[in-house]
Amino acid sequence: MTRTPFSIAAVLAVVTTLLVGLVSFFPGTAAVAVSGADFDAGNIISDEVYYNASAMTETQIQTFLDTKVGTCSNANCLNVVKIDTASRAADAVCRSYQGAAREPVSRVIAKVSQACGINPQVLLVTLQKEQSLVEGTTARAPSAARLERAMGYACPDTAQGGCDPSFAGVYNQLYKSAWQFKRYSNPPGTSAYFTWFAPGKTVDVQYNPNVSCGTKRVTIANQATAALYYYTPYTPNAAALSALNGVGDSCSAYGNRNFWVYFTTWFGSTKPVGQTVGNVDAAAGGFGSVTVSGWALDKTTSASIPVHVYVGGKGSAVTASTSRPDVARHYPAAGPLHGFSTTVSAAPGTHDVCVYAIGVASTDLVSCTTVTVRDPSPVGSLDVVSVGPGGVQVAGWALDPETADPISVHVYVGGVGRAIRADGMRPDIARAYPDSGPAHGFTTTVAASPGPQQVCAYAINVRAGATTVLGCRTVQALGSDPLGSLDSVTPGSRSLTVSGWALDPDSAGAVPVHVYVDGVGRAVTADRGRSDIARVFPAFGPDHGFSVRLDATPGDHQVCVYAINVGPGSTSTLGCRTVSVTATSPVGSSDVVRGVVGGVQLSGWALHPQAPTEIVPVHVYVDGVGTALRTGRPRPDVARAWPGAGNDQGYEAVVAARPGAHDVCVYAIDTRGGVNTLLSCSTVVAR
């Protein structure tokens, strides 16, 4: 069946006042208030009203249509259109229908109502809430398509606007929907198929076809209300009820809301006119209790009457005798003393709350709703249990729902307890528990011996209820001695590079580290960034790495590293290693050594593997007399062979010499303390 909000005309026709505001109805009906607060999801309409087939005659229906439709702009309006109807035999649901040519819609409605035992007002309201065919702009010029699906019968939400063509037309729609309304009650001769909204049953009714919008717990009070849910299986949410004159939110559905508002606006109350009237203004679950308030009276007397409140089947009596001037204004003969408010003890959980007005001659259900009773015991969370500076860090929140004051929390680490007060600011808790305020956070650091430690936190109960275990966790405590690692000792040319990390569990700051090479110490600070350490010890941050380069002669050396203690505890040995340091000499080539006029021509290249971009001195000895040269000439071939060495490691020169034979030797000089490298020695003849 189609679901639409009110048309503009219908919106303007609804006056959404409170109890004291009245609206106009079809002549002969009693005026009642129209307010979303009065919508009873479990008792939308009574059986007496819904199945009252004699509520209107054909003449009254025609007069009603003429009044609501007004001046018709085409030949399709319900107050002027004539339709051919077919005869239908009686069955287990409806009596027979005698068909005829060119019947007015008012006659069809009256005959269908009598045949199937459905109030003609129900059919009129359904024509409006499904296709806006009774009142408003659409009703004054309806399309043929709207008449085809007049009651929304066989037009499921899942069909996205499509309808079964075998049930098309005003007559088919009226008869089949009325037949279906009656069939929902499982009359004798049919199967007991429709049971999921059975009267007396508490069910979850969706707010919207979109299941993510959630459900409402509804106790179905009668068969008529069940029929409405079978036909339109959604209940209005708070947004739909607070906007009776329009649109709610994306999760609102309007079918049953619109049915109730149209019926009430046009014909009066959906409940039978009895002697007792009343309303439950509020029913709320508290901590171990339910509070219910409202009003009730018997119209035959001004005396206050009893009200019985049942919570989960357990009854409590209260007299409706407090002053309610608003009630007196609507029922002046009754006076004001008809209000009630009571609090009933209840166990935590979800409960059906039903309120009955005990009248002089009858007992009537005022309302049934579902509330949730909260546990009075403290609530909270153990949010953080982690190692950090000073020991084990514990944080979370706790509150007792019976007081806004901070409460005590007991924290146990390794069986040793500490009492703290949960009074730290937690705005997120204030948002979730606005009555309690924000001062319910706790945080503390507890010293702990190294090794696995069980940490438990307890919220201490204040009044009713019991102390609550917030949680227990096991952590690997660090103790107080520094910890860390000697990650590497890397030998270089006459040097050692020592790297690792260190931290002291008593402080988040950087700690001193002493590095000893063959017993000779050097102090450094472990303050370099180490993101891996921050991931393992997030409370300490990343700045706990160290790396230092120390001079060392070629040969074997013992390296030992110590993390120096801060505060309680003792200095820790991070490790000892024995490494060998070797000397690395320059490399190169004497490519050209030849005699030329006036001397010796030389060219080649040289570099130091540990510092390949440095300029390497080259010494040339001619008959034992030395001349110093320097690299710096382009040698692309050397750059290709030694990536990273650069392009300027070549040398080229002519060294003066007398004509004749000479001994010439070329050396690459090690400026880093190593051994000089002989590149070549030869005899050449200068000219």
pLDDT, one tens digit per residue, over 92-147 is 999 999 999 999 999 999 999 999 999 999 999 999 999 999 999 999 999 999 99
Contact between 130 and 262 under an 8 Å Cβ cutoff? The reply is: no
In this structure, are strands 391-399 and 528-529 parallel, antiparallel, or unpaired? Answer: unpaired
pLDDT, position 19? 25
Quote the pTM value: 0.42
The two most distant CA atoms of the chain are separated, in Å, by: 149
pLDDT, position 551? 85
How far, CA to CA in Å, does 298 sit from each of 293, 362, 403, 565, 604?
A: 17, 9, 40, 85, 121
pLDDT of 76 above 90? yes
Share of the chain above pLDDT 90, in %: 68
pLDDT tens profile 505-562? 988 999 999 999 999 999 999 999 999 999 989 889 999 999 999 988 888 999 999 9
The DSSP-derived string for 5-60 is ---HHHHHH-----TT-----STT-------GGG--TT-SS-HHHHT-TTSS-HHH
Shortest CA distance to 236 belongs to which of 208, 264, 204, 271? 208
* Region of poorest pLDDT, from 176-185, 228-237, 323-332, 353-362: 353-362
What structural domains and CATH numbers belong to the chain?
Answer: 276-373 (2.60.40.10), 379-477 (2.60.40.10), 483-581 (2.60.40.10), 587-686 (2.60.40.10)
Identify which has the larger pLDDT, 339 or 53.
Answer: 339
Q: Is 582 exposed, middle or buried (0-12, 13-18, 19+ CB in 10 A)?
A: exposed
Contact between 68 and 136 under an 8 Å Cβ cutoff? The reply is: no
Q: How far is the C-alpha of 368 from the C-alpha of 365, rounded, in Å?
A: 8
Identify which has the larger pLDDT, 3 or 491.
Answer: 491
Contact between 152 and 228 under an 8 Å Cβ cutoff? The reply is: no
Contact between 588 and 605 under an 8 Å Cβ cutoff? The reply is: yes
Contact between 669 and 618 under an 8 Å Cβ cutoff? The reply is: yes
pLDDT of 30 above 70? no
Q: How many helices (H) and strands (E) does the chain have?
A: 15, 35
pLDDT tens profile 190-223? 999 999 999 989 999 999 999 999 999 999 999 9
